Structure 1
């Protein structure tokens, strides 16, 4: 076996174990028992080839674009990611909250890019999540055509359990989604976690291709300029839209 290839694959697997959490050089090297210099050189190559992404100086490493394309993940769209990367960084710096870009795949909301704030207390959300369980998923569902929405409901049913307790019937679901579609905004409160999620659509050639979201602790949301937060979110989405034209 070729040792350096094994080490590179070990690094990719370790990063992919928890893709929403950037891992530092020290964490990766120590986790695999590697010399820090050796680990840094391998990571440098993986970053240069696009299989790993360095979030920012000292923030750590996450999976890069090439790692997703190898899986055949249809949710991953290179042009969308390239258009969103810089505006999302600007948004995160402006509001100092974690942001994510997500797409709809079957009955899952799939995160394809994240930016991380400097807050000590940050809201984390899984890469894969049932559509009804997140603001980003609900927004993507709301922006479907009536025909596609009806097919989704027929195939996957209504929210169950605690995923969306306010919705008890198909009529309630359709009405709630219609309001989100009209406003181009989804607002979700997760009482048991005291978390707020907001999402707006991203368009390409007049078609919604993803959602842009901010998730933050409820106490910070209640203390901030809520209208200003939504405006910042919409401004970022517009910047991404303009790059996709």
Structure 2
């Protein structure tokens, strides 16, 4: 039973990894190393519950409407999203870049809201969760504010060794700047009393970074994060 649940989650995550693409049954089974018959039975159940949609006449599958309805049905983090949304919109409008709100839940980091820039090239984000926790400024900020034992559980031994040197510095920054292969991220902690409950981030392509006043951008992100925080 537990294995079936894991496989159902794997199927949903695969469909979400390329949200505009239609996946055939055989592709899903091969990608996840599931037997075609087992895969078909799980997908049939997910289709029946509305979490997966069967696309006719292609006989392929995409995420279903229930996946997108769940966040609207839950009060979980709703007040945080409602409080943050106007500031994400203002931040994206003011800078012309993509603003996101990221949280940690158990061992994963999720983007729970975002306002995307219309400018090209776009900044790609996983619609479910951030897989490489060291790759984004927002997750690095959240990691830096975790207790050491919790942080160590989320990192590989190699990551721990590299990370512990910079953790204290990041947790002391009002805004953390991090570059990956294609984008620059600026992130600030969102506080609820003495605890960091989220990270506000602004992302832009590396090609536009040289044209940007980084100091002004950092101040804008910091001010927005402070406005969202409840101290």
Q: TM-score, normalised by structure 2?
A: 0.66
What SS class does the counterpart of residue 118 from structure 1 fall into?
coil
- The answer for the alignment partner of 2:92 in structure 1 is 92
SS in 1 for 2:87: helix
| Residue number in structure 2 paired with 1:129 | 130
The offset of 1:213, in angstroms, is: 0.5
Distance 1:151 1:120 in 2: 37
**Alpha-carbon spacing, 1:214–1:19, altered in 2? closer, same or farther (3 Å):** farther
8 Å contact from structure 1 (residues 197, 214) kept in 2: yes
Deviation at 1:239, TM superposition (A): 1.4
| CA-to-aligned-CA distance 1:167-224 (integer Å, 9 cap, x gap) | 5x52x31121111101133222112xx2111211001123110000111101111211
SS at match of 1:90: helix
- Deviations 1:128-148, CA, capped at 9 Å, x for gaps: 11322221111001012xxx2
Say which of 129, 138, 141 aligns to 1:139: 141
Match of 1:183, SS state, is coil
Corresponding position of 2:208 = 220
SS in 2 for 1:128: coil
- Contact 1:136 / 1:211 at 8 angstroms: preserved in 2? yes
User: Which residue pairs with 2:228 in the alignment?
Assistant: 240
- Give 1:32 shift: 6.7
Of 157, 163, 175, 1:185 maps to 175
Q: Following superposition of structure 1 onto structure 2, how do residues 25-36 of structure 1 map, counting pairs within 5 Å?
A: none
SS in 1 for 2:122: coil
SS at match of 2:188: strand
Alignment of 1:14-163 (within 5 A): 18=16, 63=68, 67-68=70-71, 76-126=76-126, 127-130=128-131, 131-144=133-146, 148-153=147-152, 155-158=153-156
Per-residue deviation at 1:87?
1.0
- Segments of 5+ residues of structure 1 without an aligned counterpart are 1-16, 23-30, 34-45, 53-62, 161-166
1:132–1:159 contact (8 Å) kept in structure 2:
no
Cα deviation, 1:15-52, whole Å, max 9, x if unaligned, reads xx559979xxxxxxxx978xxxxxxxxxxxx9xxxx89
- 2:175–2:222 Cα contact (<8 Å) kept: no
1:40 equivalent in structure 2: none
TM-score, normalization: structure 1? 0.62
Aligned alpha-carbon RMSD (Å):
3.1
Structure 2 alignment gaps of length 5 or more: 1-14, 21-53, 57-64
Name the CA distance, whole Å, in 1 between partners of 2:19 and 2:97: 15
